[in-house]
Structure 1
Amino acid sequence: MAERFHPDLKRARRMSRQAVSPATLRPYRALLSLGGALTGRGVEKADGPTGQPIWVYRPTVDGPHPALLWIHGGGLVFGHPLTERRFATDVRDELGALVACPTYRFAPEHPYPAALDDAYAALTWLAEQPGVDPDRIAVGGDSAGGGLAAALAIRARDRGGPKIAFQLLHEPMLDEATRHAPPPAPDTLRLWSHGINRWAWDGYLSGVEGDVPATASPARLTDASGLPPAWIGVGTRDLFHGEATAYAARLRDAGIATELHEVDGAYHGFVQTEGSAPVARDYVARMKAALERAWHVT
C-alpha cells in the first residue's frame, strides 16, 4: 500500500487540515501584517499604481535584468509578501533577477477583479522599471498567487499588455468548480480544505454574474493559444492536484510548452511548512532551474 504522504514530510500527519477559517481570518491577517511590519523593515517597497505596496528585491549590479512578479498565496482571502521573502531573495541573488512581490486586495470584502487589477497594475509597474529586460519578464506565485499569475497571463494576452515570457505556477488555485466537487481523499488534505476553498471562491466571485471568466478562474479558459510557456508544480495530496494537472494538459494541447512536476505524497503548503525536507528543497531547486532555462541565464 502506498504511503499517504511523502516519507520526507515528517510533519504531515500532525499538520492542520485547515490553516484558517472565516472566524479566524481577521486575527490571522493582523498577525501577518504585524509580521510584515517587523520583518520587512529592510525590504525596498514601492506603491503600485492601484495604491497597493510592492515588496522589491533589486539586484545591486546594473541591468538589463530578468524580472519576476511573484504573488503570495492565501486563497484570495489573506496572505502577505513576507511569506515569499526567502524565495524572492534567492531568485534575486542566484539568478540576478529583479523580483517584485505585490500585495493585493482580499475577498470577500473586495471580490473579483480587485486582486487581479492590483496584480496587473504591479506587472505594468515592473515592466517599466529601469534595468528590466522586457523580453525576460516572468509571472508566478504560490496557491492563489499561482492562480492570479495564470489569470495575469490571460489578461496580458487579451489586452496586449506587458509581454510575459514565462509563468511559474506553484500549487496553483485555478478552478472555481473544485468548490462544488467532492473533496479527494479529505483525510489527507492539509492546510487548505474543501470547506475553506468553497468559502474563499464564493467570496471572490460574489460580484460575477453569469459565466465565470477565465481571468477569474483560469480553468474556464477555452483558448490557450498565445499564452507563455509554463512550469506547474503540485503535490498529489493537494486539493488543487486535479485542476493543476488538467490546466497543464490544456496548455499542452494548445501547443504551449508546459512542464508539469507532481510530487507524490506532498500536501498543500509543504514547501512553506517543511522547507528543509529534501523533497521540498528539490522542488524549489526545480522552480529556480525552470526560471533559469526560461531566462537563458548562464
Structure 2
Amino acid sequence: MSATKKKPTPTPFEPELAQILPAFAGFTPLQMTADQIERYRAMPIPSIAEQIGDRPVQCVDFTIPGYQGADIAVSVISRKDHAKPGPGIYHVHGGGMVMANRFAGASDLVAWAMKFDAVCVTVEYRRAPEHPDPIPVEDCYAGLAWMAAHAEELRIQPERIIIFGGSAGGGLSAGTTLLARDRQGPKLFGQLLQCPMIDDRNETVSSHQFQGIGIWDRLSNLTGWTALLGDRRGTGDVSIYAAPARATDLSGLPPTFIDVGAAEVFRDEAVAYASAIWAAGGDAELHVWGGAFHGFSQIAPGAAISQAANAAREAWLERLLR
C-alpha cells in the first residue's frame, strides 16, 4: 500500500491579520470554482472618483487598439496641474485573471500621481475565460506600447516608465516586461510586482499549504489558471509570457521589486522569481512578509504589517525615481 502524501502544515497568520481575516469571509475568492466567477465579478469596486476624492487629480479615458486590433480602454491618471514631463507608471490590475477592472487598486496610482507627479496609465485588458491566453498579456503589452508611443503628449519621460501590478496583475506585468524585452519594445525603468501570480503548475510547497484557508487558496488559483490556459495548464505548452515562472532566462530585466506574504499560495514562486533574477545578474529587491495572507496590504491597510509593506514599496519607488 502506498503512503498517502501528507499535506504540508501552513505557516501561521500574523496575529493582527488573523483577527481581521474572518471579516472577509464571503467577500474574497477563497476556494473559487468556475461557476462562482460571475459572483465575484459582481462585487463592487470603488469608482475612480471615490478613490480620487478631493485631491487635485484627473482621470481621462482613451480607447486604443489591443491585441489583434480589438478596442480596449485605458485611463490616464495625473495631477490636474501636471505640466512638465514626469515618470510614468503603467498599471495592470489584479483579479485572478478573471475578475476586477482597471480601477481596482487605483488608489496607489492617485497617491503616486500626487507624490511623484507621475502620469499613471491603467489598462482594461480582456479577462479569461472569455478571452484566454494570449489575449490578456497581449492587451497589456499593447497598452504599454501605446503609453510609450504617446509619452510626449501625455507628458511622460519615456525613459522612466515603471510597470506595476498585483496578483494576476503582477503576473501579467512580469509577462509584459518579458515581451518588451524580447520584442525590443518599450524599455522599462522598473517593475513592481506585488504577490505576483506567475506559475500555472501549482506545485510549490506554499501552493499546497494554503488550501481552504486564507485568501485566494490553491483551488482558486487552479480555477484562475484553468480559465486562462484551459487544458494547457500545467503542461509543456505554456509560454513564459503567460506564466513567467517558466522563464529560464531572466537577464535584461529592469530593476525589480517583489513583495509577497509568507502565508499565501504565491510565496514560493515569488521567492524563486527574485532568485532567478539575481542568478541572471539582475537587480531585485524581495520582501516576504511574515504571516501575511494574499493581498494583505490592500485588504487590511490599517494593520501594522500592511503599513510597513506599503512604506517599503514606496521607499523603493522613491529611490528609483530620485
| TM-score, length-scaled by structure 2 | 0.84
Mapped pair 1:200 → 2:224? yes
Please say which of residues 273-282 and 9-18 is displaced more in the overlay. 9-18
2:167 maps to a residue whose letter is S
Cα distance, 1:233 vs structure 2? 0.1
Q: Secondary structure at the match of 1:184?
A: helix
Please say which of residues 222-231 and 238-247 is displaced more in the overlay. 222-231
Percent identity over the alignment is 33
Max Rg structure: 2
Q: Secondary structure at the match of 1:46?
A: strand
Mapped pair 1:221 → 2:247? yes
Q: Cα distance 1:229–1:40, how it changes in 2: closer, same or farther (>3 A)?
A: closer
Query: 1:250 and 1:189 mapped to 2: Cα distance?
Result: 29
Mapped pair 1:78 → 2:99? yes
2:34 maps to a residue whose letter is P
Query: 2:166 and 2:237 mapped to 1: Cα distance?
Result: 26
Counterpart for residue 7 of structure 2? none
Cα distance, 1:246 vs structure 2? 0.4
Please say which of residues 10-19 and 78-87 is displaced more in the overlay. 10-19
Query: 2:224 and 2:211 mapped to 1: Cα distance?
Result: 20
The one-character-per-residue Cα deviations of 1:189-224 (angstroms, maximum 9, x if unpaired) are 422011121121112113858531110100111111
Mapped pair 1:4 → 2:24? no
Counterpart for residue 18 of structure 1? 29
Query: 2:186 and 2:285 mapped to 1: Cα distance?
Result: 23
Query: 1:288 and 1:168 mapped to 2: Cα distance?
Result: 10
Query: 1:22 and 1:210 mapped to 2: Cα distance?
Result: 23
Cα distance, 1:179 vs structure 2? 6.2
| Equivalent pair of 2:170/2:197 in contact (CA under 8 Å) | yes
Correspondences of 1:205-284 after superposition (within 5 Å): 205-206=229-230, 210-284=236-310
Counterpart for residue 146 of structure 2? 125
Query: 2:104 and 2:243 mapped to 1: Cα distance?
Result: 24
Mapped pair 1:58 → 2:78? yes
Query: 1:135 and 1:156 mapped to 2: Cα distance?
Result: 14
Q: Secondary structure at the match of 1:83?
A: coil
Please say which of residues 279-288 and 138-147 is displaced more in the overlay. 279-288
2:90 maps to a residue whose letter is L
Please say which of residues 266-275 and 9-18 is displaced more in the overlay. 9-18
2:278 maps to a residue whose letter is R
| Equivalent pair of 2:140/2:172 in contact (CA under 8 Å) | yes
Counterpart for residue 47 of structure 1? 63
Q: Cα distance 1:175–1:69, how it changes in 2: closer, same or farther (>3 A)?
A: same
Please say which of residues 59-68 and 10-19 is displaced more in the overlay. 10-19
The one-character-per-residue Cα deviations of 1:21-62 (angstroms, maximum 9, x if unpaired) are 4223213323447x5488589732222322221122113221
2:315 to 289, 294, 297: 289
1:257 maps to a residue whose letter is D
1:270 maps to a residue whose letter is F
Q: Cα distance 1:211–1:76, how it changes in 2: closer, same or farther (>3 A)?
A: same
The one-character-per-residue Cα deviations of 1:119-146 (angstroms, maximum 9, x if unpaired) are 1111012112321111110101010000
Query: 1:8 and 1:181 mapped to 2: Cα distance?
Result: 24
Query: 1:139 and 1:227 mapped to 2: Cα distance?
Result: 12
- Unpaired stretches in structure 2, ≥5 consecutive residues: 1-9, 53-57
RMSD in angstroms over aligned alpha carbons?
2.5
Moved over 6 A (4+): 179-182
Q: Cα distance 1:160–1:275, how it changes in 2: closer, same or farther (>3 A)?
A: same
Counterpart for residue 128 of structure 2? 107
| Equivalent pair of 2:88/2:162 in contact (CA under 8 Å) | yes
Q: Secondary structure at the match of 2:223?
A: helix
- Unpaired stretches in structure 1, ≥5 consecutive residues: none
Cα distance, 1:242 vs structure 2? 0.4
1:5 maps to a residue whose letter is F
Q: Cα distance 1:79–1:4, how it changes in 2: closer, same or farther (>3 A)?
A: same
Mapped pair 1:164 → 2:172? no
Query: 1:186 and 1:85 mapped to 2: Cα distance?
Result: 28
Query: 1:3 and 1:221 mapped to 2: Cα distance?
Result: 28
Size of the aligned set, in residue pairs, is: 294
Query: 1:188 and 1:218 mapped to 2: Cα distance?
Result: 25
